Structure 1
Amino acid sequence: MTYIDRLSPWCLVRLQANMQHEIVARFRRRNDAEAHLQVMQRLSADGKYTIIFNPVIEEQISDRKG
């Protein structure tokens, strides 16, 4: 996970078949994610989107370092 991703824990996620998901965008604030969610729902009525909080835990970072 890049530094910019760690600064943006709120994720707009597109739900797909078979319990798959795709992160569409990341945001620093929940209200920004909610505003973008409303736009995406208007633009693609058949798409299913949700917002999740995806924080970075320090243990995960230290595990990657070594």
Structure 2
Amino acid sequence: MYDQNSNEPWAIVRLITPMQWVVITRYRSRVDAERNLRLCRQQIAEVKFELVFDPPNNQG
């Protein structure tokens, strides 16, 4: 499970519907996330993947 204190705000998500998505993996760097997003799209072309910025919730 994702640790809310983690410093990995960039996420590759799989779109289920336009309003529903599942986080596949997270990255600290946008460049790393974009690189792996391209790989996901090449390997599984029939699935819709997107890159989202989803920072951790910093509520004390």
TM range (shorter): 0.7 to 0.9
The structure carrying a bigger strand percent of its residues is: 2
Percent identical residues: 31
Q: How many residue pairs align between the two structures?
A: 59
Moved over 6 A (4+): none
Q: Which runs of 5+ in 2 are unaligned?
A: none
Q: State the structure with more CA Rg.
A: 1
Q: Which has the higher contact order (CA 8 A, sep 6+)?
A: 2
TM-score by length of 2: 0.83
State the superposition RMSD in angstroms.
1.8
TM-score by length of 1: 0.76
Q: Which runs of 5+ in 1 are unaligned?
A: none
